[in-house]
Structure 1
Amino acid sequence: MDIKTMTFLIVGASFILYIGIAIWSRAGSTNEFYVAGGDVHPVANGMATAADWMSAASFISMAGLISFMGYDGAVYLMGWTGGYVLLALCLAPYLRKFGKFTVPDFVGDRYYSQLARTVAVICAIFVCFTYVAGQMRGVGVVFSRFLEVDIVTGVVIGMAIVFFYTVLGGMKGITYTQVAQFCVLLFAYLVPAVFISIMMTGNAIPQLGFGDQITGSETYLLDKLDGLSADLGFAAYTLGSKSTIDVFFITAALMVGTAGLPHVIVRFFTVPKVRDARRSAGWALLFIALVYTTAPAIATFARVNMIDTINGEQSTGTDYAQAPEWIKNWEKTGLIGWEDKNQDGKMFYSGDERNEMKIDRDIMVLANPEIANLPSWVIALVAAGGIAAALSTSAGLLLVISTSVSHDLLKRNLMPDITDKKELFYARLAAGVAIVVAGYFGVHPPGFVAQVVAFAFGLAASSFFPAIIMGIFYKRMNKEGAISGMLAGITFTAAYIIYFKFVNPAANLPQNWWFGISPEGIGTLGMLLNFVVAFVVKQFTAEVPQDVQDMVESIRYPKKQVVNP
């Protein structure tokens, strides 16, 4: 059976599964729409959290980044993994104990201010729209290749699917859909990695195989890749080229951005108890590790196979007329291109003036099984996994946008007397509008998938993280300080990113960056600015009311039991 037919079958079956789950678990109340009724099992919530967090950037783009950037790409791996640990240990239990539906809800009540709630809503919407643009782009990339449609059509199909189970099921439908999506994406990520690891090194464990010797040779796989990279004008694969300060700031931005992402934080409100929040965080970390420890192996396998396929075993080039089918297939999407510079009819890929190939880094995971000549069902499975990753996170983000509008902006601010039924209507309406806007950004994204997502993490780091940390661990932080800090942090970070990525992209060079910090890492500086502004403003404004300080104390410490003598 050909790849297209197999893809229709496997992807179609997964869509039927997701829609069936959405119908079975549709939300009937605002409590079910916002937090799935608060009775999700910790293991199921761990799977849903992993699927929510492992977006298209994790599934499609992260291994592609490592494949092209080598050691430098490890900042994404370290930042996202470390950020989840930070979230699970330092924030999730306390936020769950606070008992609010959303991050703006926490900010509004903790900082005793409707203005603080409104600022948090604006930040949440801004962060989520930036993030969801990358997810919709990921959907378009998958569909454009495997269903042989253009990216616009692919994005529209993804919008329709997400709209159905987000608007119908709310958090309840999304939770159980994400459990299924996690199983699909995990299987899709590991199966080709195991296949290729056995083919290239004889080791069935890809996490070990990519550091092993090549089958039938005494050469280690990474040594071969370093040699190929040097010969072809690329930087050595296992050596970094980024400055230490930029590596630190990107990693920190991704870490604290993860801990401030509203669509991940809300998952810890779907379990019955605070203890269950900790347990589901532990399960999620285990599920995430299964994918993240495999990413460097996939990146290495794909890089070696791609170079050998394009340049030939002797690195003299391959006749375009005899090019593998995967190159011709991906050319149709516009994500691979060939320019015969020396008119010899041969393709050649290098990191210098000899290069004749344009290769989008977002295709590496999806093209990996094709490059390695794996069976068509494996290729189709990877397509289903990529779609599952993008759709699962998109749904979580869109739900945050809809709840921020309906619950935080309308119910808790502009329309306090609104009924539950009307609130649910506005939540679904907001989700529908958000999907349309997200689809537009999916068609016209500001960068490749992981880069767009990195911007979202930077915005979350510079706005939410300080407000949440101070809200939990510093009871004397007042509303004026928190609001000023959030506004200063997100404004500075957004302005920096917009300038270098949209206003003057030609200036996006290390020598022009402030202190050598790239737009991907500027969120860390924005976070520091947030803290500084908050503490300065706090010194010149009113003290926090005593009842609010007592409330903050109760979040961190259990109430003392009075024992009768």
Structure 2
Amino acid sequence: MSSYRQRLSRYYLWYTACFFAFLLALALLEREGMPRLWIGYLFMFATIALYATIGVITRTSNVSEYYVAGRRVPAVFNGMATAADWISAASFISLAGSLYLRGFDGLAYIMGWTGGYCLVALLIAPYLRKFAQYTIPDFLAARYGGGAGGRGGPVRVMAVAATIIVSFTYVVAQIYAVGLIASRFTGVDFSVGIFLGLASILVCSFLGGMRAITWTQVAQYIIILVAFLIPTMWLSVKHADNPVPQLAYGSVLPKLAQREQQLVLDPSENAVRARFLERANDYAQRLKGLPASWEAGKREAQRKLDAARLRNAPLPEIRAAERILSAYPRSPDEAVRVWTEQRAANLARAQPPEPHAAPFPGPDREASDIRRNNFLALALCLMMGTAALPHILMRAYTTPSVNETRVSVFWTLFFILLIYLTIPALAVLAKYDIYTNLVGSQYQHLPSWISYWANVDKVNPLISVTDMNGDGIVQLAEISIDGDVLVLATPEIGGLPYVISGLVAAGGLAAALSTADGLLLAISNALSHDIWYKLVDPAASTQKRVTISKLLLLAVAFIAAYVASQKPADILSLVGAAFSLAASTMFPALVLGVFWKRANHVGAIAGMAVGFVVCMYYMLHTNPSLGGNLDGAWLHIAPISAGVFGVPAGLLTIVLASLLTAAPHRSSAGLVDYIRSPDQPPY
């Protein structure tokens, strides 16, 4: 094992050196005048070709290699692979944007996701490795299956269903991010970009399963780390004369607070915010006047279009009138939803900027308490969801021993923290740059990156800067920026060479692809191993099992790509929903399965079902985009934190149902004793 580890270290050191040489070569080519579009193409296709090459080299049809990489991945490399699997598009692309937009509240993501790995290390991962099977449904079926030959049919089916729902929701967010990056840096359509990225995902996971994914993810982590640190260190030097972002964070934060206070008192800012308040009041009046206001608005939009055509107005004016009419709500019911959302958006922009570093700001104590409760609820959901994500827990099976699994979790935390301790600094540095350089500049001198990002999605622009008061000066209230683009735009915000923008795009692509690979494999393995092999055709050959897994992976990947192309929600919302569902459905059954012998199959089935139903009901009941209403929220908890209700419901149901029914079969109790016994080497 020592020589194997040394050989891997040499390979990846050479890979890292070649990657830096590639960066240097592109920087020189940019200096010599290479077009930006070509740099974007080179970054995108060179990295995709790299991942495809690793996938081809490590292709396999061996069941153990395909499902768990042969259980021979050294701890440090498994830690890097798991970190890449974990640092998804939500972490790399959206987390700094959330901190930029939400300030202190955004730290709930960092605390929750980091704390979740502590739960993984303490409560679940070592015990799964000692069990030494292939999937999470395998463990739950053996633990709760009792005397039914170890198959645990109902429990296994429910665990597979939970794995599919959670992983599918999560993978849609990753593929959405792939489309966002590809469309920005290659100029292709968003939907085309999604399927370009999908090709890279499939080459790795389709050909080599966990074996190919593991070694690809190690390579991807190196790109992720370099791509995240370089622009952050650049901004640190620019604003604090210090290359260490964590130290620059402390010195820039007071400057940002001072600038925020100036913008709160600025008369021009207040004038723009007053305009947004007027718009919000106008939407409120329209809502009160329904359905007559809807009919009048539609007639007016049609009249303006007809008038523009009659007087042979310029084509851009006619096209603008056509877009207004086509975007108009099709019915009074749709108008209620659209106008309510637009009223809320305008009210939000009418508010002065909140202090970035202030915890839970609010107009009164009650509002502040609600924000604090949501912060804690979200952190708890993310922690418990982390400890129940199937594609993360699967990595516990890939190490040579239980002890290596424990060490692997340590390395995972270390590699994650290299990124997570930098994210808050990046948010503050980018925010200070925008507040000092963009705000107050003239519209005729807007930087080119504004127009680049505004044209990625013309229906729902990712960045919008509109001169509301007509003074020709950019005000903060006139800037609308989507949190999903902040990291990708950071090099351009900081004035870095375009080659660094390509590097960041490659890092974001690596983050999205690495997680998507793991998620798709978790879904296909659950279907092929736990449903086909365990329940439908136990006599299936190893070749047939791997082939079925590959075909299922292909089908799920294309379905997920289609859903992502419909842009169902922003990245963080989709990821948050996946974590709440994972926590509510899987966490109680996993933890009680390890630590409470009395838990039985009836309790597990009931607990998973109740946890899922409570979580889904709360999301549907309170999420406006799903037809719900925030007025029905329990304890004012946001829909993204639905797991804070689903987990207790699941835990309580398992306990009550287990106590009210027969004790589990002795084989289940024996499994608990085995995986928790310290005298079974290696432990």
Q: TM-score, normalised by structure 1?
A: 0.93
How far is 1:228 from its partner?
A: 5.2
How many Å separate the matches in 2 of 1:273 and 1:200?
A: 47
> Which of 40, 48, 52 in structure 2 is aligned with 1:15?
48
Indicate the larger mover: 550-559 or 321-330.
Answer: 550-559
CA 1:62/1:420 → structure 2, altered by over 3 Å: closer, same or farther? same
> Which of 524, 529, 537 in structure 2 is aligned with 1:415?
537
CA 1:468/1:560 → structure 2, altered by over 3 Å: closer, same or farther? closer
Contact 1:139–1:155 (8 Å) recurs in 2: yes
How far is 1:141 from its partner?
A: 1.5
CA 1:157/1:70 → structure 2, altered by over 3 Å: closer, same or farther? same
Contact 2:259–2:435 (8 Å) recurs in 1: no
How many Å separate the matches in 2 of 1:505 and 1:207?
A: 42
Which residue of the partner structure matches residue 150 of structure 1? 189
1:117 maps to 2:153: no
Q: Deviations over 1:311-347 (max 9, x none)?
A: 22xxxxx333321011011111131123443344444
How many Å separate the matches in 1 of 2:210 and 2:538?
A: 22
SS in 1 for 2:640: coil
Contact 1:165–1:174 (8 Å) recurs in 2: yes
CA 1:542/1:309 → structure 2, altered by over 3 Å: closer, same or farther? same
CA 1:427/1:229 → structure 2, altered by over 3 Å: closer, same or farther? farther
Q: Deviations over 1:69-104 (max 9, x none)?
A: 000101001000100121122211111101121111
CA 1:549/1:228 → structure 2, altered by over 3 Å: closer, same or farther? farther
How many Å separate the matches in 1 of 2:592 and 2:66?
A: 29
Q: Deviations over 1:11-38 (max 9, x none)?
A: 3221121111111111221111110111
1:298 maps to 2:421: no
> Which of 40, 50, 63 in structure 1 is aligned with 2:73?
40
SS in 1 for 2:480: strand
SS in 2 for 1:211: helix
> Which of 243, 249, 252 in structure 2 is aligned with 1:204?
243
CA 1:229/1:277 → structure 2, altered by over 3 Å: closer, same or farther? farther
Which residue of the partner structure matches residue 465 of structure 2? 338
SS in 2 for 1:210: helix
Contact 1:69–1:237 (8 Å) recurs in 2: yes
Q: TM-score, normalised by structure 2?
A: 0.77
> Which of 350, 375, 391 in structure 2 is aligned with 1:263?
391
> Which of 90, 103, 115 in structure 1 is aligned with 2:123?
90
How many Å separate the matches in 1 of 2:632 and 2:428?
A: 32
> Which of 349, 352, 369 in structure 1 is aligned with 2:476?
349
Contact 2:260–2:353 (8 Å) recurs in 1: no
How many Å separate the matches in 2 of 1:177 and 1:537?
A: 44
Which residue of the partner structure matches residue 329 of structure 1? 452
CA 1:227/1:27 → structure 2, altered by over 3 Å: closer, same or farther? farther
Contact 2:533–2:540 (8 Å) recurs in 1: yes
Contact 2:94–2:571 (8 Å) recurs in 1: yes
Indicate the larger mover: 168-177 or 414-423.
Answer: 414-423
Contact 1:34–1:170 (8 Å) recurs in 2: yes
Which residue of the partner structure matches residue 563 of structure 2? 441
SS in 2 for 1:337: strand
> Which of 233, 257, 263 in structure 2 is aligned with 1:223?
257
How many Å separate the matches in 2 of 1:237 and 1:132?
A: 31
Equivalent AA in structure 1 for residue 247 of structure 2: L
How many Å separate the matches in 2 of 1:549 and 1:506?
A: 43
Equivalent AA in structure 2 for residue 432 of structure 1: L
Q: Deviations over 1:409-435 (max 9, x none)?
A: 111112212111111111001111111
How many Å separate the matches in 1 of 2:90 and 2:516?
A: 11
Indicate the larger mover: 333-342 or 54-63.
Answer: 333-342
1:385 maps to 2:507: yes
CA 1:338/1:467 → structure 2, altered by over 3 Å: closer, same or farther? same
Which residue of the partner structure matches residue 654 of structure 2? 534
> Which of 577, 585, 604 in structure 2 is aligned with 1:455?
577
Which residue of the partner structure matches residue 236 of structure 1? 355
Contact 1:66–1:299 (8 Å) recurs in 2: yes
Identity of aligned residues (%): 38
Indicate the larger mover: 403-412 or 14-23.
Answer: 14-23
Equivalent AA in structure 2 for residue 332 of structure 1: N
1:77 maps to 2:110: yes
How many Å separate the matches in 2 of 1:481 and 1:272?
A: 33
Indicate the larger mover: 289-298 or 483-492.
Answer: 483-492
How far is 1:555 from its partner?
A: 0.7
How far is 1:543 from its partner?
A: 0.8
Which residue of the partner structure matches residue 353 of structure 1? none
Which residue of the partner structure matches residue 645 of structure 2? 525
Q: Number of residues paired by the alignment?
A: 544
> Which of 279, 284, 290 in structure 1 is aligned with 2:412?
284
How many Å separate the matches in 2 of 1:297 and 1:3?
A: 28
Q: Deviations over 1:285-328 (max 9, x none)?
A: 1100000000001111111222334322xxxxx33332101101
How far is 1:254 from its partner?
A: 0.2
Unmatched segments (≥5 aa) in structure 2: 1-29, 146-151, 270-351, 362-369
Contact 1:210–1:221 (8 Å) recurs in 2: no
CA 1:529/1:271 → structure 2, altered by over 3 Å: closer, same or farther? same
How many Å separate the matches in 1 of 2:535 and 2:181?
A: 40
How many Å separate the matches in 2 of 1:310 and 1:209?
A: 20
How many Å separate the matches in 2 of 1:139 and 1:458?
A: 23
How many Å separate the matches in 2 of 1:158 and 1:114?
A: 36
> Which of 368, 374, 396 in structure 2 is aligned with 1:246?
374
Equivalent AA in structure 1 for residue 495 of structure 2: N
CA 1:39/1:225 → structure 2, altered by over 3 Å: closer, same or farther? farther
Q: Which of the pair is proportionally richer in helix?
A: 2
SS in 2 for 1:446: coil
> Which of 591, 594, 600 in structure 2 is aligned with 1:469?
591
Equivalent AA in structure 1 for residue 113 of structure 2: W
Which residue of the partner structure matches residue 27 of structure 1? 60
Which residue of the partner structure matches residue 315 of structure 1? none
Contact 2:598–2:659 (8 Å) recurs in 1: no
Equivalent AA in structure 1 for residue 606 of structure 2: S
Indicate the larger mover: 472-481 or 519-528.
Answer: 519-528
Equivalent AA in structure 2 for residue 492 of structure 1: V
How far is 1:220 from its partner?
A: 3.2
Work out which of the two has the higher radius of gyration on C-alpha atoms and give 1 or 2.
2
Indicate the larger mover: 552-561 or 446-455.
Answer: 552-561
How many Å separate the matches in 1 of 2:437 and 2:36?
A: 20
The alignment's C-alpha RMSD in Å is: 1.7
